Amino acid sequence: MKAGFFVTGTDTDVGKTWTTIALMRWFQIQGLSVVGMKPVAAGCEWQDGILKNSDALLMQQYASFPLEYEQINPYAFAAAMSPHLACGNVEVSEEVIVDAFTRLQALADVVIVEGAGGWYSPLSDVLDNAGLVQVLHLPVILVVGVRLGCINHARLTMSAIRQANLSCAGWVAVHIDQAMPGFDGNLAFLRKVIDAPLLGVLPFLAVADFDLLATKLNLPNWQKLDVYQKK
C-alpha cells in the first residue's frame, strides 16, 4: 500500500520541517519505507555545485534509502524570500513536481511532502501550496505553531482546507514559544475548535531530537485516517 501526506503550516517557521522528519521517523518505526519531499525551497546555498536547502537536506538524511538531492527538491532558489520572488524567471511547473512525487511514490511506502510557508503562500506567480495539494491529491497535515495569534491562524487555515473540499488527516501542535503563557489552555481550545484529529504535541526543544519527537506523535490505525492511499 502506498500513502502520502502534505504538511502545511499556520505560517512560516512554525515547525513544519521538524514535524515532517518526526513523521518520517514514526512511519519508519512502524516498519515502512519513507521519503520526504520539498518541492520548492528558497534561501538555498551552493553545495557540490548545486543549490541546496537545509530542510530538504534533512529529508535526504532521514530517508529510508539514498536519494539524489534533486529528487527531493526539484526547485531550489538562492534568495531568502518568498519563492514566487526568489524563482526569478524560472517557471515552477506543476508537471515537474507531480512527476518527481510520482517517482518517489514508486520507491517508498510513504511520501511526506512539505510545503513552503503557509497554506496560501505562493510558490510561483500562478501556484500556491493550496493549488499544489489539489494537483497532488494528498490529504493535509496541519502544523500549528503554538504562539500568540495561533488560534486565529489555525482556524482560518483549517477553514480554507475544508472550503477547498480537501482531506485533512489531522493536525500537530508544536510548542515553538517556550515563554508563551497559557500553553495548555490554548491547546485545549484548539482541540475543541479544530475539526480534525490531534496527531501529536511536539515539545519545545533547543536542538532537534527526531527520535524523541516521533514518540510524541500518535497515529493509531493511521490507514483509516482521512488519507490518500494507492494500492
**Domain-embedded: residue 230:** no
d(CA 154, CA 159): 8
At position 169, the amino acid (one-letter code) is A
Q: Would you say residue 222 has pLDDT above 70?
A: no
φ, ψ dihedrals at 46, nearest 5°: -75, 125
**Domain-embedded: residue 101:** yes
Give the burial class of 177: count Cβ atoms within 10 A of its Cβ; 0-12 exposed, 13-18 middle, 19 or more buried.
middle
So what's the pLDDT on residue 89?
84
So what's the pLDDT on residue 229?
43
Active site residues per annotation: 38
**Domain-embedded: residue 88:** yes
Instruction: Give pLDDT tens digits for 184-219.
Output: 999 999 999 999 999 999 999 999 999 999 999 988
Count structural domains, the chain: 1
So what's the pLDDT on residue 227?
47
Instruction: Give pLDDT tens digits for 84-137.
Output: 999 988 889 999 999 999 999 999 999 999 999 999 999 998 899 999 999 999
Supply the range of the domain harboring residue 116.
2-225
So what's the pLDDT on residue 219?
86
Known binding residues for Mg(2+): 17, 55, 114
- pTM of the predicted structure, to 2 decimals: 0.94
The CATH number of the domain where 10 resides is what? Answer: 3.40.50.300
d(CA 220, CA 89): 45
Q: Would you say residue 226 has pLDDT above 60?
A: no
d(CA 211, CA 63): 14
So what's the pLDDT on residue 228?
43
Length of the chain measured in residues: 231
**Domain-embedded: residue 231:** no
Instruction: Give pLDDT tens digits for 24-79.
Output: 999 999 999 999 999 999 999 999 999 999 999 999 999 999 999 999 999 999 98
Q: Would you say residue 230 has pLDDT above 80?
A: no
**Domain-embedded: residue 110:** yes
So what's the pLDDT on residue 225?
56
**Domain-embedded: residue 42:** yes
**Domain-embedded: residue 185:** yes
At position 27, the amino acid (one-letter code) is F
Q: pLDDT-derived band of residue 160, with 50, 70 and 90 as boundaries?
A: very high
More confident of the two residues 4 and 2: 4
Known binding residues for ATP: 55, 114-117, 174-175, 203-205
Known binding residues: 17, 55, 114-117, 174-175, 203-205
**Domain-embedded: residue 111:** yes
So what's the pLDDT on residue 2?
78
**Percent of the chain whose pLDDT exceeds 90:** 87
End-to-end CA distance of the chain: 5
DSSP string, 123-140: SSSS-BHHHHHHHHT--E
So what's the pLDDT on residue 221?
67
Q: Average per-residue pLDDT in the chain? A: 93
